[in-house]
Amino acid sequence: MAQNDGSIRLTLLKTGATVGLSALLVLLLRWVLGFLPRLDAMTGGHAGGDVLRFLASNGQAQAQQTVSIVMIVVCFALAVLVVHGTERLLQRRRNRR
């Protein structure tokens, strides 16, 4: 049963890390998107505005929801990859000792 407790702790730790990292990535994405208009103002370009207009999907609510869901899923998938990669890296370091 002790082995099972460690497995549950590890699962909870990885789940918490994945959810926390996902939230952090979503907040970072929101910050970057909020910075795009200032970037356009500094550079005199309009690429940031174009990105925001694309993400706004011409004001169509269904398309906006789809874009939002895709962005959240991408952040979650990236978080899963980071947590899995970190776990593998830590296991390799542990096995070398």
- Domain, as residue range, for 10: 2-96
Could you please report the per-residue DSSP string of 36-89? Answer: HHHHHHHHT--HHHHHHHHHHGGG-HHHHHHHHHHHHHHHHHHHHHHHHHHHHH
Domain count, the chain: 1
Q: What is the largest CA-CA distance in the chain?
A: 63
pLDDT at 5: 60
pLDDT tens figures, 2-58: 456 668 999 999 999 999 999 999 999 999 988 888 888 888 888 888 888 878 777
pLDDT tens-digit series, residues 64-96: 888 889 999 999 999 999 999 999 999 999 888
